[in-house]
Amino acid sequence: KPPYDAAMPLPKAELHLHIEGTLEPELAFALAARNGVELSYADTEELREAYRFEDLQSFLNLYYELMAVLRTERDFEDLANAYLARAAAQGVRHAEIFFDPQAHVARGVGIGTVVDGLWRALGRSEENHGVSTRLIMCFLRDRSAESAMETLDAARPHLDRIAGVGLDSAEVGHPPVKFREVYGAAAALGLRRVAHAGEEGPPEYITEALDVLGAERIDHGLRCMEDPALVDRLVRDRVPLTLCPLSNVRLRTVDVLADHPLPAMLDAGLLCTVNSDDPAYFGGYVGDNFDAVRSALGLDEDRLRELARNSFLASFLEDDEERRAR
Ligand code: HPA
Ligand code: ZN
């Protein structure tokens, strides 16, 4: 059987995608050459060898290291266009795209360069790729709450292009409550709110992201399955979860894909979506994730269609935009 989604991609929205995580080795080397940046890998093959991760932190180390090649507006434009082309080929009609301004500002690349560069691609994405987009600015949770607030302030001139805020990077030891104030300020500015929770961190972080941060959607949320009362709440309140199955295997959140709780989560009535997280690092884009869960978990066509439909329901598209996209 040919891979179902690759052969006939379902129209879908991608809601959990770090644009920096779409940096393919070939583009990393091209940008390194263009910008005169020295990489500590001889070639793309040697770089790919480094993609054997133990956990979230071992991935993040490489993810932040390779960002050194992203320096100009054009770099961010090229990065986003490469992602949008690949996503469109896998059926993506709408993408809500994370970016990590603090990781760039720390290297001397201003938030304006990042947003303007990304926007050169996103602003024309509907015409060029048939993909509508939203931009979600993430705070790095292993940095201070003050740094997050400074980032929100620095983003003020760009808020016409930023739909919401998120929370990512090393989870354990950095509970959502640390970011209570900045999420309050973001809400007051009319920004949508999402947060990574329950990837490596405990179910309590999911509850906290909902109660303290006002998160409208939980990124990953896998570990909710350890707390039946929390599952009941997520089902009752229709809180979307943006799952990333290939990411979970690569970061060893689950041992093998066949053990992934996605079928149990769907059976429990959770509003699950399937996404790629950092596709250049984790072995595939969103259609590849659909194909992987289909073959490893035996999801039938109805389940796959449910996942695609959920992705639009869980998106920040308005109803009329949503109808057009799917
Ligand atoms: N988890 C947390 N932070 C991240 C991830 C992730 O999967 N990808 C990029 N930043
Ligand atoms: Zn993520």
18 is in an annotated binding site: yes
The answer to whether residue 322 is domain-embedded is no
Number of domains the chain contains: 1
Q: For this structure, is 146 an active site residue?
A: no
The answer to whether residue 164 is domain-embedded is yes
pLDDT at 4 (0 to 100):
67
The answer to whether residue 321 is domain-embedded is no
The answer to whether residue 125 is domain-embedded is yes
- SS3 (DSSP) at 316: coil
Measuring CA to CA, which residue among 232, 258, 226 is closest to residue 245? 258
Token representation of residue 110? 């201003």
Measured between alpha carbons, how far is 318 from 61 in angstroms, rounded to an integer? 37
pLDDT at 51 (0 to 100):
96
Q: Which residues of the chain have pLDDT under 50?
A: 1
Give me the sign of the Cα torsion angle 106, 109, 112, 116.
negative
The answer to whether residue 182 is domain-embedded is yes
pLDDT at 3 (0 to 100):
61
H/E element, 313? helix 301-313
Domain interval for residue 147:
10-315
Residue 140, φ and ψ in degrees, nearest 5: -85, 115
pLDDT at 268 (0 to 100):
98
ipTM for the complex shown: 0.96
Which protein residue's CA is at the shortest distance from atom 3 of ligand 1? 169
Q: How far is the CA of 268 from the centre of ligand 2 (A)?
A: 23
16 is in an annotated binding site: yes
277 is in an annotated binding site: yes
Could you read off the pLDDT of 29-85 as tens digits, one per residue?
999 999 999 999 999 999 999 999 999 999 999 999 999 999 999 999 999 999 999
Ligand 1 shell residues, CB under 6 Å: 18, 21, 56, 63, 168-169, 196, 199, 247, 277-278
Q: How far is the CA of 120 from the centre of ligand 2 (A)?
A: 23
Q: How far is the CA of 100 from the centre of ligand 1 (A)?
A: 10
The answer to whether residue 175 is domain-embedded is yes
Which protein residue's CA is at the shortest distance from atom 7 of ligand 1? 277
Sequence-ordered list of residues with C-beta below 8 angstroms from that of 4, at least 6 positions apart, any chain: 290, 291, 294, 301, 304
Give the Cβ contact number of residue 95 at 10 Å: 27
H/E element, 94? strand 92-99
Count of CA atoms in the C-beta half-sphere (13 A) of 106: 13
Domain with residue 48: its CATH number is 3.20.20.140
Measuring CA to CA, which residue among 191, 226, 185 is closest to residue 206? 226
The answer to whether residue 5 is domain-embedded is no
Q: What is the pTM of this model?
A: 0.97
Residue 163, φ and ψ in degrees, nearest 5: -85, -30
Q: How far is the CA of 162 from the centre of ligand 1 (A)?
A: 19
Q: Which ligand ends up closest to the CA of 169?
A: 1
Catalytic residue among 14, 77, 171, 199: 199
Sequence-ordered list of residues with C-beta below 8 angstroms from that of 92, at least 6 positions apart, any chain: 12, 13, 14, 131, 286
Give the residue, out of 16, 17, 19, 59, with the most ligand 1 atoms within 8 A of its beta carbon, to mutate for a pocket test: 59
Give the Cβ contact number of residue 2 at 10 Å: 8
Question: Running DSSP on this structure, what letter comes out for residue 308?
Answer: H
The answer to whether residue 288 is domain-embedded is yes
- SS3 (DSSP) at 155: coil
